[in-house]
Amino acid sequence: MSNFSIGIFDSGVGGLSVFKELMLKLPNENVIYFADSKNCPYGIRTKDEIIKFSVKAVEFLIQKKCKVIIVACNTATAAAIDYLRQHYPIPFIGMEPAVKPASLKSKTRSIAVLATEGTFNGRLFKETSNKYAKDIDLNVKVGNKLVSIVENDLINDSESIEYIKTLIQPLIEKNIDYLVLGCTHYPFLIPILQKILPRNINIVNPAPAVIEQAKRILMKKSMLNNSEDKAFYEFYSSGDINILERMVFEIAGEKIDIIKL
């Protein structure tokens, strides 16, 4: 199974922040990516809806003979990963806001997490926060509109930048020194955030830790791809493919056709 693909799914282009990290750290691995753009954003959906969408994505990736699946969506992880692990034998790697490292490293004892409401309501976030952020001023902020900003290619739009400033300013006033990105879409906003945030505030992108976890699981199960052949990437979308196509080109450095399902 070592030459089988790693499956990645997200509600849209956000999971590309995870794919980008995978390309760097696991360059031999083949990847099949499914963007459920038709149903994006997941943050406004009910738990039952998200489970239904996640099951559809997983069954598609299993049909493609993926060896592990990365749920590259914090909202889907929060709502569906327990269900997926109970119903499918394949290993799943989920997203989790990096509250632990931020809490342990914080010098001001004040951190912030930017995420969707679904992520904040999930078991993983609550358990991690209760365990590692008891003595921390934990400031949470729902990133309304941020997914849409990324999905609609409005990152550098002046109105988007002003909106992000308005969203972030109250967190800056809380004397935070870590801003945890709790949605895979948000790393694409890092260039904007770096211009807004004071230099002492560290931005935490969870994607590197997720790929390290994927690597550990692949090694443990002897499924790392050690082939010297060039890795191949397949991309599928349930909705619009234009922005996905452009972003894949920017990340992969080559044109990869997106197949619309």
Q: Which of 183, 207, 241, 248 does the annotation list as catalytic?
A: 183
Tokens coding 210: 């997720």
Q: Which residues are within 8 A (CB) of 130 and not within 5 positions of it... i.e. 6 or more apart?
A: none
Q: Which of 51, 73, 171, 207 does the annotation list as catalytic?
A: 73
Selection from 150, 192, 140 nearest residue 40 by Cα: 150
Tokens coding 103: 């809490």
Residue type at position 58: V
Question: Counting beta carbons within 10 angstroms of the beta carbon of residue 29, is it exposed (0 to 12), middle (13 to 18) or buried (19 or more)?
Answer: buried
Q: Which residues are within 8 A (CB) of 201 and not within 5 positions of it... i.e. 6 or more apart?
A: 172, 176, 177, 178, 179
Within its chain, how far is the Cα of 123 from the centroid? 17
Q: Is 183 a catalytic residue?
A: yes
Strands 137-142 and 178-182 turn out to be unpaired
Tokens coding 217: 């699981």
Q: Is 66 a catalytic residue?
A: no
The total of other beta-carbon atoms located within 10 Å of residue 49's CB is 14
- Is the CB of residue 78 less than 8 Å from the CB of residue 126? no
Active site residues: 73, 183
